[in-house]
Amino acid sequence: MSDLTKLTIAAARDALRKGEVTSVELTSACLTAIDAADTLNAFVHKTPEVAESQAKSADQRIQAGEAPDLCGIPLGIKDLFCTKGVASQAASRILEGFKPEYESTVTTQLFDAGAVMLGKLNMDEFAMGSSNETSVYGDAVNPWKVDDRQLTPGGSSGGSAAAVAADLCLGATGTDTGGSIRQPAAFTGITGIKPTYGRVSRWGVVAFASSLDQAGPMTKDVRDSAIMLQAMSGFDAKDSTSANIPVPDFEAALTGDIRGKVIGIPKEYRMDGMPAEIQKLWEDGTAMLRDAGAEVRDISLPHTKYALPAYYVIAPAEASSNLARYDGVRFGHRAKLDAGDGITEMYEKTRAEGFGAEVQRRVMVGTYVLSAGFYDAYYNRARRVRALIKRDFDQVFADGVDAILTPATPSAAFGLGEMKNADPIQMYLNDVFTVTVNLAGLPGISVPAGLDAKGLPLGLQLIGRPWEEGDLLNVAYALERSAGFNAKPAKWW
C-alpha cells in the first residue's frame, strides 16, 4: 500500500486487521513524514523509540485477534497531556525539563487500546491562545498556504491540527477550553469534537480553566472522531468532574439518517460585519441539512452577546488559581537568584522568566477579577451570565431542537504575526462562535464544509444536547457527506 500516512483511522484499522499493512510499517511511514515536516513545527518532542515499541506490541495483539479499534494506529499527543517519562511542558518554559512519573487518563486509555504515540505536539502556552504563537517552541505552521504567507493553524491545539492536516499522524488529541479543538480544526480542514464536560477525564491534563477544559479528538473525518472519542471517554474516579454514565457506541450511531431531526439556527450568531463567505457557508450548510431531511428552525440564544466577556473573566480567574502551583520549587524552571534573594524573589523571578506574555496577561486579569474589591463586580457577575447562557441552551433543547448549526470561526486562517501587535481583543474575537459551548458544558464539533476565495478551508460548527455525542456525530456525518469536502493542502514543506 502506498501513501500510508493518508489513511484514515477507519481505513487503517481495516487494513491492519486484514494483514494488508502492519503497525510497524504504518508507524515508520508517519515517523518519516514527521522528520520531513520540521518546517511545520507541529511535533516538538518526537518519540520514535516509544512508537516503534508500541507498534510491535500492537502487531502482536492484532495477530492474536485481540485488537481494539485503535490498535496499531499512530497518533500525536498534545503537549498538555502528561505522558510518563516523556517531556510534558504545556509549551511553557516554566515546565522546562518536566517528565511526569505518571500517565494521564486519556493517554492511558489510548495506549491500553493499542494506539501508538509518535510524539508530543505544539500548542499555545498553557492552552492560552488562538494562533499557536505563544508557544515556547515557536509557532506551529498551517500546512495550507496562500501567496507564500505562512498561516496560523489556529490554537491552542495548533500542532495537533497541523499534524493531522499534513498527514503526519492519523489522529491527535486536543483540548478545548473556549474553542481550542474546533477553531484549529476549521482553520486546517479537519474534524474536531469537544465532548460534553465530564465525558472525558481531565486527570493528567495540565489545567488552564478547570470548569471549561475538555479533551477530545482531532481527526481526518467524522468517523475517525467517533472511533477515537470512544477510546478517550469514560468515568474516572481520579477526576471529580468525570461523569459516571455509560459510553455509547459512537461509530454505530453514524447512520447518516437525520430525517425528522430539528436543527436550530441562532439569530444572535449573525454578527455585524460577518464576511460574506462565512454567511454563505452557513446558508449552504443549512440547505444541506434541510435537503438531508432535517427540519430547520430559527432559534434565539439571547445571552450570546455576553459570552465572550464572561468567558474572558472566568477563564483567566481559574487560570490564575491553577497556575499558582508553578513556583520553581518542586519541578520545572527555576530562576537564578542573586545574593540576598529570598523565597519571594525566587517566585517572582521564576514566574517572570517562566511564563510568556499572554499567560502573564491572563494571570493578572484573573487575579484582578478575583481580588476583594472586584470579585462581585466581575467574577460573580460573569458566573451569573454563564448560568443564563446555559439556560438559553436548555430552553432551546427542551423545545425540541436536536442540534444547532453555526459557523466555526469568523474567518479562514490568518497569517502568522498579523495579530501579534494588535489589540489582544482582536485575537480573542476568534472564539466568538465557540466559547458558549464551553460555558454551557455542551458537545460541539467542527466539520470542514468549503473553501474561501483564496482556497483556504472553512468549517461549520454543530452544537448538541449534553451527553448526546452520538446524535451530534451523526448529524455531523450527514453534513460531511453532503459537503463532500476532500481538499488537501498542496505539499510545500
Cell 489513511, residue located: 7
Cβ contact 159:42 at 8 Å: yes
* Catalytic residue (choose from 23, 160, 180, 446): 180
Look up residue 324 and give its amino acid: A
Other C-beta atoms within 10 Å of 267: how many?
Answer: 12
CA–chain centroid gap for 340, Å, is 45
Tell me if residue 180 is catalytic. yes
156, 160, 320, 446: which is the annotated catalytic residue? Answer: 156
Q: Which of 23, 78, 130, 482 is catalytic?
A: 78
Is 156 known to be catalytic?
yes
User: Cell triple for residue 41?
Assistant: 513545527
Count the helices and strands in the chain (H runs, E runs).
15, 13
By DSSP bridging, strand 171-176 and strand 74-78 are: parallel
Give the three-state DSSP class for 400: coil
Closest of 345, 328, 329 to residue 337, by C-alpha: 345
Do residues 130 and 164 lie in contact, with contact meaning Cβ atoms separated by under 8 Å?
no
Please indicate whether residue 300 is annotated as part of the active site. Answer: no
Strand ranges, E, within 285-430: 295-299, 403-407
- Nearest CA to 405 out of 223, 269, 221 is that of 269
Tracing cell 484514515 back to the chain, one arrives at 8
Secondary structure string (H, E, C) spanning 118-169:
EEEECCCHHHCCCCCCCCCCCCCCCCCEECCEEECCCCCCHHHHHHHHCCCC
Q: 3-class SS at 267?
A: helix
Residue 394: how many CB atoms within 10 A of its CB? 14
If one counts every other C-beta atom within 10 angstroms of the C-beta of residue 187, the result is 35
Residue 260 carries which DSSP code? T
- CA dist., res. 486 & res. 104, Å (int): 33
User: What are the b/e assignments for 437-459, b being 16+ CB within 10 Å?
Assistant: bbbbbbbbbbbbbbbbeeebbbb
For the annotated catalytic residues, the residue numbers are 78, 156, 180
